Amino acid sequence: MRKWGENDIPDLSGKRVLITGAASGIGFEAARALAQRGAEILAVDRNEQLGRTIADRIGASKADAKLEFRMLDLSRLQAVKDFAASLAAEGRPIDILVNNAGIQPISERRTSGDGFELTFAIGHLGHFTLTGLLLPLLNAAPAPRVVTVSSLVHGQGRFNWNDLQIERGYRAQRAYNQTKLANLLFAREFQRRIDQAGSNIKSIAVHPGVAQTSIGANRKQLGKFRLADHFISSILSVVMPYLGQPASAGALPTLYGATAPDAEGGGFYGPGGFGGMKGAPAPATIKPSGQDMAAAGKLWGITEELTGIRFQL
């Protein structure tokens, strides 16, 4: 695959794109790049204060950018359902859905208002609910895509089916790894069901490699830091600038998955450089845990029970 960059994004005039976690990092850079190619952006984030500045920040480089911000806390399933209902009432097709939002948890286990482990609630359950409820709007678009952002660490993720909310032996990295594995398996199982139903949606998974974003700094908003949290933040502040690439580069796999004609449904894309940490988008290695389609199917069924959502393809 030749090197692919923002200049390869096609004209997106008339396309409507919804991006979660759009106020900063990968989500913001994806919103900026897609808006510059003419897409109408629906920027979604739980940080309302920062979200209200997205239009001005993108407008600095494209004065006529089409962008609207809407606040949404993905950890609250009823809020996701209400949000999706409001979009359904408007009836406007969605061409591209980017499931990007997520958190880097802290060492203290936190739960959502629904009682789910917070990392899993935001990254997986919230996105599953949102995607399922927006299917009518996606199916109304001529060539819809759903891009779900996973991570290099998906290979370290494991599911304890008897303790999916990690009530025993909680560790922040365990919660993060599990959620990112869930993201990848969701995208792959979604495509399997799409193919089975004969739908024309493309479900694509991506990862940003090692990108310099605010996800580490945002951990401070989640609660009181313990010694381990200060240690992790210190490591991130040293490692990320050295090994990581700018957020704009980390967003390229997302942009590739969202717009490139060659991006395949069921595919997984990330940086093509050493170790998948940096570089132009390329097919990414799926670790054994991400190839376990039996686990993907089981996770899907459990997620249906937890959220009450059934995909109508």
Give strand ranges (E) for the chain: 16-20, 40-45, 66-71, 96-99, 145-149, 202-206, 211-212, 245-246, 268-271, 281-283
Amino acid at 52: R
Q: How far is CA 100 from CA 183, 218, 238, 312, in A?
A: 10, 15, 24, 22
Structure token digits, residue 175: 């919660």
Cα(58)–Cα(61) distance, rounded to whole angstroms? 6
How is the beta sheet containing 40-45 ordered, strand by strand? 66-71, 40-45, 16-20, 96-99, 145-149, 202-206, 268-271, 281-283
Query: Of 176, 242, 256, 269, which is the active-site residue?
Result: 176
Name, in order, each residue with C-beta under 8 angstroms of 163's C-beta and a sequence gap of 6 or more: 169
Active site residue 170: no
**Residues known to be catalytic:** 176
